[in-house]
Amino acid sequence: MTIKECYEKVGSDYDGVLKRLGSEALVKRFAVKFLNDPSFQELTDGLAAQDGEKAFRAKQLYQWMHVKLAASLDEMTNLSKEMRGILKEKAFYASLNPVDVRISQIDGTRKYLFELEDGNVIESVLMRYKHGNSVCISSQVGCRMGCRFCASTLDGLERNLRPSEMLEQIYRIQRDTGERVSNVVVMGSGEPMDNYDNLIRFIHLLTDENGLHISQRNVTVSTCGIVPRIRQFAEENLQVTLALSLHAPNDEVRKTLMPVANSFALKDVLDACHYYFEKTGRRLTFEYSLVKGVNDNLDEARALADLLKGQHGHVNLIPVNPIKERDFKQSDRKAVEEFKQYLEKRGINVTVRREMGRDIDGACGQLRKSYIEKERT
């Protein structure tokens, strides 16, 4: 397998990485590290095969990574220099570099822009609630789903994030604040179901009793509605919450907002969601971004109530965060409240998402987009 084929295997843009790193030698070095992302058992097996160290070191290493949240191999002081040297040579250790941290003056929300080893940047958000700290993480660098109200998709997909890079967003924020993260939402840049294998490994590592041990019930995974992956996800024997980015009550309106609707009809998407409930017993969240004059009138509310009749879950109404590249506008408070009240009258469990971080480019992809534009000038 060539180096270019290695990058294609993990969903990365070889030409883009080559341009950023400057030489094929550096690209090769990154690729070799990139393909190794061990779980606890794999780590144990791998270390057992190394000369000079025994497999019991695996637990020490795992605790440094997933409990003590070491920022680098050099912090692992009870590992020998020889072992740390082997690890530096043979393994990829994800450590994100925060290039921008913005703190909302309105509600204290923190938005992080992290630089990856290959020069790409991703976003993460820390939100503080009464029930604990919640972190929203990215699952990809960019996104190829093309949702028209989302800044994450404007430059397309660069590559998938590895499980370690998803975990490190949480670990880095926890190290930065000194506060435990109790809830994780995979709802940042990217479509998690488009990075399926890495998503599943990430969830297992995040909830593993040897690591942070965050309850699966405190993990939410969002999807725009990739039907085969939703059904596959239902078979994983997980207890996470599934959130569907719905945003429209019918296929006609949904196609104007979300290109994925051209591939999967709403009926099939909701059938898959119902299957997820049947297999897991977990109620779903139906995300509905309200766009002024597009999907926020009472006709849409009526159609939405009809659509979700018999579904097990609740609707989360989201006044859309405007982005300069689109002419979408946020629905006014009166329209939001009337939409909510109608759904309630129809017996639909509905909430309006508390708007957080608007003064710090809080919407998905906005901070990354502004950073990239600045770097290009």
Supply the residues annotated as catalytic. Answer: 123, 364
**Tokens describing residue 77:** 């002081």
> How far, in Å, CA of 237 to CA of 217, rounded?
12
Closest CA to 193 of 158, 227, 223, 165: 223
DSSP state of 363: S
**What are the backbone angles phi and psi of residue 98, rounded to the nearest 5°?**
-75, 115
Termini Cα distance of the chain: 37
Closest CA to 126 of 181, 202, 163, 164: 181
Q: What is the CA radius of gyration of the chain?
A: 21
**Tokens describing residue 268:** 């099939």
Task: Tell the residue number behind the tokens 């919407």, with chain if given.
Answer: 363
> How far, in Å, CA of 4 to CA of 11, rounded?
11
